[in-house]
Structure 1
Amino acid sequence: MDGLKKFDRLNMSPNNTDISELLEKIASGNAILFTGAGFSLGSENVLGEEPPTVKKLTDIIANEGGFDGENNLKSTANYFLKVNDDSVLIKILSELYTIKKISPSHKAILTPKWRRIYTTNYDNVISLAMMDNGKVVKNITTDDSSETYFKEDNVCVNINGSIETLKNDVIPDSFKLTTSSYLSPDSFITSRWFPSFKKDLERSSAIVFVGYSLYDIEIQKILFESPEFKKKTYFINHKSASPLTLFELSEFGKVYTTGVDGFAKEIVNNLQKYVREEEAFYLESFTEYKLEKHTETIRDHQIIEFLLHGNIENFFIDDSITSKLMNPHIVMRDQLNEVNELFKNFNYVTILSDFGNGKTVFLREMISYLTINGKRVFEFNDIDGDYSKDIEQLSSLNCELYVVIDNYEMYIEVLQNILLLNDPKIYVLLSTRSSNHDQNMQLIDKSDQIAQVNIDLLNDNEISDLNNIIDTVGLWSERAGLPEQRRFDLIKENNKSQFSHTLLNILQAPQIRDRIANLLSSLFKKEDNKDTILAICILEIMNIPLTYNNISEIALNNSIYNTELINNTDFKQLFPSKNNQIISKSSLFARNLLAYHFNPNSTVTKLLEVAEKFHSVRNNSEFEKKIYKSLLRFAFIERVVPLTNKRDMLIRYYEQLKSRLGGLKNTPHFWLQYAMARIALDDYNNAQNYLETAYAKAYGDYDTAYLDAQQARLWIKLSITEFDQNKSMDYFKKAHNLLCNLYDDQYKYRQVEAYLEYYDTKYTKLSKKNKANFLNAVIEMHKKLQELRKGYTTESNRMDHCYNKLDHILQNT
């Protein structure tokens, strides 16, 4: 025992004096339990024996087959099945691993609520223990859908398969006779459940291994390098374990040498004192925003970090709301008051902006604004929590409150839940990119009750504030010497009064690009690091949370869990992290990285690999489905393909996509996206061919509205480039007639905006008759938009831009 005490200073607790730390985490109901072979000791199978270890199982199978198993279960089982039917081996396994009696310790360990149970054991000890506790366990394998079971309680994931899944005649693929009962990288890591496993690790209060030996944790190479995981990982081992074994386990977490029985005793005797009485108000999916007390003054480097990366502490935003600062760092939007006024007439307001124009920052300003004005504000942050129960609890509060959902298109079911409740005390602030909104509204009941505010354009006061902030931190560079009015004009005229254009110009400045390149140079020496940063950029542009799990799924590696990368000074400057999530928030920065700092061929190759992976798992969950759809969309691919040789890279991507993804060439959606790529590249002949292919493959009830919009777009482009004025007008009229029959949404009016380009390039060259035809088309669309504008709650959306362009034509003819 003296030898064990020497390890106490490393990460070990042989005297178990501090097991209270673990019990408190288990009492939360959010800990994960892993059981290995040692957990089942003390149980009794139908033969009246303990279930055998892997070594003993190997010997039993080999003896039954009359050969030497050489301590290799996988080879032994494979050879046995070559000369025997599956049913013979099933009978052996059923007798050995069908448990009829468990120990009190098994029941005790399964008494608490566990977030999830994982086991590499074949037996049914967990099922019996749960049953003795009055619970029914849902036994699943790694082949089962995470979308179906991830939110369920009392789920046990049988990593190597379960005796309960064996039939009389066939051993299923889910039953793995591996060389050791550990988490096998060959099968588990590539399984459908592995992404959910990583989510469990990230969100659990504790990760508790019971009955595992050193050889059972091969997966440590992939996951357990994360300091966040190590801090909450615990091993329950027996006192007779060798000091070396205990030391090696302590490298990956804290070790308790109570053994299974001692651990069970601790649970029976002491767990209850850590179980809090059920609180009247505990939320899983929402977090209430609280103002923070602080004395910190924002520094220039923090302002630059915010402008370039979108990363800033909440209390600095609070400061901007509450006082006029000597060192301004945020453009406070006048539309904060507009949204506040809208909430007097609407319970739902959506903030819209185009790519990179600051909708998430605006939400943060609005959250601070509401909180400072005495409102209770709850941010949605976890789709895997019980949001239905949370919403009911929020409704039970006897006060007015605000719920905030950023990128609501990813959480339509949450919004529908709130709409269905229809509680007048709950106000909902939403956000999404403008390009997503019209399509999303078609999926939502009562969408007419949702007001919208577009924040794309900065007004003159806001432009002055942005000009001042950029000047204060020295980001105007060589333009710093320009008069203030000239810099103002640069933002208003050259950058079209938008954050996105202004910040892109800053990011493209040579000194900023060189600074970023220097930070990336050491990181890019490792290919896995480069793929991880690429994954972060892809997710940022897709508007998907930057959790470590999501990043590793896109990177096709697990480097994001590696402390060497996470603690790298250069990486932390670019991508600070907290609680297993990258906290930077700037799609513009991500796009800039891809445009200027990645090799085009490498990026396209990686995108194709990711597309291939998600094509095979696209039906697993909403996350996989969203990734897959984005990887097909031209609007996304055009943003992530680097600028160098972009034309060839786009064509290469779509050419290889259809050959690598089985069945894709038979879908109209693929040919639509490929046609859009060709239109953008001014390759109109191929674009027309691909649109016709898409129409030909649009069977049954396929909605051709998007196809029609792109066909109209192509015809307008052809009308502008066509030299013969009569042919030009024929193209234009075909486009106009097609657009008149489409839904009144942004996809339609985005194409109508091109009427102004037709006017600027063609109108003076048209005959009197064709001028009349053109003006009639403009008047028709203008009148339609006049009617639609009566229902608007703001003047800065796609249809208003279109209306203003048509109005310009009519005012000048």
Structure 2
Amino acid sequence: MNNGILEAIKKGELILFLGAGASFGCTSSSGKATKMPVELAKTLAVAAGLEYHGETLDVVYEAAQEKLGVRLNRILEDEYRHTKPSRDYEILSKYSWKRIYTINIDDGLDHALIRNSEQNISKFIASDPVEIESRFFEKLQLVKLNGSADQINRGLIFSPSEYARAAESHNPWYSTCASDFVRSPILFIGTQLNEPLLKFHIERYQALSGESPGVSYLIAKDATPIQIQSLKKYKIEFIKGTFSEFVSWLKDNLGESLSPMDLAYASMPQLRELKSSRDPEKFAGLFDAVLPITKTSVGVNDAEGANAIRDFYKGFKPGWSDITKGVPAELAILGDAKSYINSICPVKSHFLPILGPAGAGKTTLLMQLCWYYSQSSDWSVYFLDAEPVSFIETLVELERTSASPMVVVAVDNIELMVEGIKHVLESGRLTKTLIIGSERESTWNKRGRHVLAGLHLTPCRVSEFTHDDASKILEKLKLYGSWTRLGKMSHAERISELVRRARKQLLIALMEATLGRGFEQIIESDYNGITSSDEKLFLAIVAVITDRRIEAPVPLLDRALDKVGILRRAVSYVDDLAGIVHMTSAGVSARHPIYARYLIDRVIDPSITAKAINGILQAFSDYRAPVIQNVSKSEAALYKSIINHRFLFDVLKGSEALTINTYKNLEKKFESDGLFWLQYGLSLRDFQRTDDALDKLRIARDAYPMPHTLHALAQQLLKSAEESSSRAVALALSEEAKEILEGLDDVISSDDTYPIVTLAEGHTKVISKHVSELEARSLANKYSLVLGIRSKANPQHERLRIAYERLFNFAATGIINY
């Protein structure tokens, strides 16, 4: 063994991959030692009446299937189900792990883990939906790639033909295993190097040669020089030993056990600053998306060399190392924001929006404020990378455990967390926390300002920079950016160049001033310089996700690539597309959302965008339905955003064929996911396919009857009723819609369209067309009374007022103004 393995285990980075030898010492339900591959091959040959001449298990198994039929399953169940764990398994199960893959079908390890492990055990076979990792190691994923003796009816993978079928079907856990091989060190143990499934994986990894960030390991009794050299090609280091020796080594170096919290604290050192809790595991879960802003947590690592041109000056968002080293200039808006915040101190419970156009420097300002206040003992500062599982409880615990008199909690995307921000502010449970969030002003005006009406301070607006700012920016550019072109100009010319370019946004000004070309030309040149169609597709996938202002998680990217037939992993594309895409610990992104949107709108062919979206959505289909309940909040936000009918209509340029086929080609993949069917139905509505839309929205209701799905169905029922040529059908549909909407009226609080608005306007239209104007006006009068009361109680909601005026006017004059 070696220190590399030990450190990877302690940090929660190591993944186990167990072969047949790891089950040595287990006993079957009959009390006999469980059979190893050679012994099982002999047993199957005898049972099938076949002469055995030393053939490997996979060959014998395939032949025996023909002879034995269902009797083969009974033999395997007798041998490998209800297995008693070996002593080695009993010891191994007392340690916590990131993940365990095994090609063994016996349940010896299963029983040992259930009995001894402090982690909750989730067992999967290769075709099961993927589940997200538990960041704090409270859950252990045991993945049985060959199948499991207690689930034989779901299939086993032993023979060559079964391996081929498994590869062809893109089983979710195969893709995940391939991604793990690149991202994490894997310890292969208990294999003789000639097992078919291991060969299958090694061949699969061949495309990844040289791309893994670190070394993986294989422990085996022996290996020939040729085998050892072959392993080196894949960065697998051979270690002579046995499974029993490995387990003994664990005890000698780690003691009797290793708890999930040991791994959590090692993998996230900042938790040690936040652990004053009676229930550490529950407490830790609250901080899944929290980054404490301190010198130790953000001020150490710097991947870019001291003399390199910083990515920030190539158009990427700043990293924390940029902020701590002062790479972005401190503009006048930073001083203004500090003065404003200081003027409201000591804080009680406030929310400060930072608003401006895309690329104006909102994120940079937000991070600079965080770093500035983190230097003061009066403040504890935290940055949320994504929405926590419980927004309220997380912020309450941050405030409770912070010794400082004031707390800053920063979010870079208000839209994704607007409901959480609203609830925590309304709760009254915070007394010293200032929440600061950045958002595009257009997005804020559509939703944020309505939801948070009366709950926020006067926004801080980031827009044009001053001439003094331009001088500061040029000083930083000279130190950290490309100075070749600007260095040939006089100072006055540089100022003029930067200010003139900045009529767009700061980001664009910096790129255009340093490169001397228009923003559009820069992007088109970047894309046209890519010669590989696979690289263009990869960039399209990343651009789609970046446009949603989320960094693409590497495992999700790897699965998306796999779904579109690309075995190469994401990390290798990042290297090849350096300067166009960028990878951080959170994931991969294109230069900037503005850059990504221009690529999608003006450069990438919509058919490539459609293929990219298909790959992303197929990657999500590996999770259980409903997807949004089985992924992290940030991935749930990404899924909801990409599957949205308006988004697809937009990025696919209104193409009915591309948009509808995107949904149609995924019907089986998402047949149990209500959100998929909801967006599918709404997309069909966009293209005036009324009957199809109603059909899909009924499926959505059956799959997952959440309030917004029922609302959409009721809207479609009223639309179908209005368009129907049959009075009886129309009245039946409208009554069905009326029943749904009346039931929803007290459930949905909306800044868009209330159920009462949908009902009042839609029902009146149906009655006007299919019954009489007189009866419709009488109905409109009843609805206008309800809408008038509701509008007075909610004066900030313009949609209620408009609906009231429409219905009132129709009742009075007989004129419908829609």
Q: Is the 8 A contact 2:384 2:410 kept in 1?
A: yes
Residues 188 and 194 of structure 1 are in contact (CA less than 8 Å); yes or no, is this contact kept in structure 2? no
Cα distance change on mapping 1:655 and 1:172 into 2, 3 Å: closer
1:264 to 228, 231, 247: 247
CA contact (8 A) 1:320 1:332 kept: no
Map of 1:214 onto structure 2 = 193
- Structure 2 residue aligned with 1:546: 552
**Quick check: 2:17–2:101 contact (8 Å CA) kept in 1?**
yes
- How is 1:356-505 mapped onto 2 (pairs within 5 angstroms)? 356-374=359-377, 375-381=379-385, 392=397, 395-399=400-404, 400-407=406-413, 422-433=429-440, 449=455, 453=459, 455=461, 457-458=463-464, 491=502, 495=504, 498-499=505-506
After superposition, what is the alpha-carbon deviation per residue over 1:305-353, rounded to whole angstroms, capped at 9, x for unaligned? 425522445354346599xx7xx79974744544565672434444455
Seen in structure 2, the aligned counterparts of structure 1 residues 385 and 221 have a Cα distance that, compared at 3 Å, is farther
Q: Report deviation, 1:572.
A: 1.9
TM-score calculated relative to the size of structure 1:
0.65
Work out the percentage of aligned pairs sharing the same amino acid: 17
Cα distance in 1, alignment partners of residues 399 and 435 from structure 2: 12
Q: Which moved more, 1:229-238 or 1:257-266?
A: 229-238
Q: 1:249 aligns with which of 231, 254, 266?
A: 231
Measured on the aligned residues, the alpha-carbon RMSD in Å equals 5.6
Aligned pair 1:158/2:161, yes or no? no
Shift of residue 37, structure 1, vs aligned partner = 0.9
Q: Point out the more displaced range, 373-382 or 432-441.
A: 432-441
C-alpha contact 1:403 1:427 (8 A) present in aligned 2: yes
8 Å CA contact retained: 1:302, 1:312: no
Letter in 2 for 1:261: S
Deviation at 1:541, TM superposition (A): 0.6
Deviations 1:24-43 (A, max 9, x none): 33234453222111211233
Cα deviation, residue 288, structure 1:
2.4
Separation in 2 of the partners of 1:297 and 1:211?
A: 40
User: In the alignment, is residue 346 of structure 1 matched against residue 349 of structure 2?
Assistant: yes
Residue 368 of structure 1 and its aligned partner are, at CA, apart by 1.9
SS at match of 2:374: helix
More displaced stretch, 55-64 vs 224-233: 224-233
Larger CA deviation: 338-347 vs 69-78: 69-78
Which residue of the partner structure matches residue 141 of structure 1? 125
Match of 2:758 in 1: none
Instruction: Tell me the distance in 2 between the aligned counterparts of 1:484 and 1:60.
Output: 83
Q: 2:75 aligns with which of 89, 92, 104?
A: 92
Q: Distance in 1 between matches of 2:100 and 2:423?
A: 29
Show CA shifts across 1:438-477 (max 9, x none): 8987999x99655573646447679867997899865899
Distance 1:214 1:263 in 2: 18
**Counterparts of 1:551 and 1:674, CA distance in 2:** 28
Partner residue of 2:157? Answer: 176
The separation in 1 between residues aligned to 2:161 and 2:251, in whole angstroms, is: 31
Does structure 2 retain, via aligned residues, the 8 Å contact 1:346–1:449? Answer: no
C-alpha distance in 2 between matches for 1:522 and 1:106: 53
Aligned with 1:186: secondary structure?
helix
Q: What 5-or-longer segments of structure 1 have no aligned partner?
A: 1-15, 677-686, 711-741, 749-779, 790-813
CA separation of 1:92/1:115 partners in 2, compared to 1, >3 Å: closer, same or farther?
same
Residue 603 of structure 1: CA displacement? 3.4
Q: Structure 2: how far apart are the matches of 1:602 and 1:432?
A: 29
Cα deviation digits, residues 100-130 of structure 1 (max 9, x gap)? 5444333333332112222111112213433
The residue matched to 1:582 in structure 2 has which SS?
strand
Q: SS of 2:382's equivalent?
A: strand
1:8 equivalent in structure 2: none
**Partners of 2:390 and 2:542 in 1: CA distance:** 27
Question: What per-residue deviation string (whole Å, max 9, x for no partner) do you get for residues 750-786 of structure 1?
Answer: xxxxxxxxxxxxxxxxxxxxxxxxxxxxxx9xx9999
Structure 2 residue aligned with 1:573? 579
| 1:25 to 2:4 alignment | no
Deviations 1:251-291 (A, max 9, x none): 42333213212212211222239977975746663332234
* Contact kept in structure 2, 1:33 and 1:207, CA below 8 Å: yes
CA distance, structure 2, for counterparts of residue 639 and residue 20 of structure 1: 52
Equivalent residue, structure 2, for 1:561: 569
Write the letter of the residue equivalent to 1:241. A
String of CA shifts for 1:470-526, please: whole Å, max 9, x gaps: 99865899999999789857755xx4xx5578689889985666665665556433x
1:631-670 correspondence runs (5 A): 631-633=642-644, 635-637=646-648, 640-641=651-652, 650-657=655-662, 659-662=664-667, 669-670=679-680
Question: Distance in 1 between the 2:497 and 2:246 partners?
Answer: 72
- Tell me how far apart the structure 2 counterparts of residues 439 and 579 of structure 1 sit (CA, whole Å): 31
Instruction: After TM superposition, give the deviation of residue 293 of structure 1 in Å.
Output: 8.0
Give the secondary structure class of the aligned counterpart of 1:42. Answer: coil
1: CA distance, partners of 2:158 / 2:103: 11
Instruction: Tell me whether 1:306 sits opposite 2:320 in the alignment.
Output: no
What is the distance in 1 between the residues matched to 2:176 and 2:121? 18
Q: 1:66-81 residue pairs with structure 2 within 5 A?
A: 66-67=49-50, 71=55, 77=61, 80=64
Q: Deviations over 1:708-765 (max 9, x none)?
A: 999xxxxxxxxxxxxxxxxxxxxxxxxxxxxxxx9884899xxxxxxxxxxxxxxxxx
Deviation at 1:589, TM superposition (A): 1.6
Which residue is equivalent to 2:101? 118
3-state SS of the aligned residue for 2:583?
coil
| TM-superposed deviation, 1:371 | 1.9
Q: By how many angstroms is 1:160 displaced?
A: 1.8
Give the 3 Å change call, closer, same or farther, for CA 484–281 of structure 1 in structure 2: closer
Counterpart CA distance in 1 for 2:302 and 2:131 is 45
Alignment of 1:272-311 (within 5 A): 272=255, 281=274, 285=288, 286-291=290-295, 292=299, 302=309, 305-306=311-312, 308-311=314-317
Match of 2:23 in 1: 40
Counterparts of 2:370 and 2:140, CA distance in 1: 36
Give me the whole-angstrom Cα distance separating, in 2, the residues matched to 1:158 and 1:583: 33
Structure 2, gaps ≥5 residues long = 266-271, 276-283, 702-706, 717-747, 755-787, 798-818
The whole-number CA distance in structure 1 between the counterparts of 2:462 and 2:382 is 25
Relative to structure 1, the CA distance from residue 414 to residue 395 in structure 2 (aligned partners, 3 Å threshold; closer, same or farther) is farther
Distance in structure 2 (CA, Å) of the matches to 1:380 and 1:58: 55
* Separation in structure 1 between the aligned mates of residue 40 and residue 690 of structure 2, nearest angstrom: 61
State the match for 1:57 in structure 2: 40
- 3-state secondary structure, aligned to 1:231: coil
**CA–CA separation in structure 2 for the residues paired with 1:311 and 1:438:** 23
**Distance in 2 between the 1:144 and 1:320 partners?**
47
Determine which of 634, 641, 646 is the counterpart of 1:630. Answer: 641
Q: For the structure 1 residues 451 and 561, does the alpha-carbon distance in structure 2 shift closer, same or farther, using more than 3 Å as the test?
A: farther
- Offset of residue 533 of structure 1: 1.6
The structural deviation recorded for 1:137 is 4.1
Decide which of 523, 531, 539 is 2:537's aligned counterpart: 531
What count of residue pairs does the alignment treat as equivalent? 670
Q: Using a 3 Å threshold, how does the CA distance of structure 1 residues 423 and 73 change in structure 2: closer, same or farther?
A: farther
Q: Distance in 2 between matches of 1:47 and 1:465?
A: 82
Given the superposition, is the C-alpha separation of residues 214 and 393 from structure 1 closer, same or farther in structure 2, using an over 3 Å criterion? farther
Using the TM superposition, give the Cα deviation of residue 161 of structure 1 relative to its aligned residue in structure 2, in angstroms.
1.9
Q: Secondary structure at the match of 1:592?
A: helix
- Say whether the 8 Å CA contact 2:15–2:186 is kept in structure 1: yes
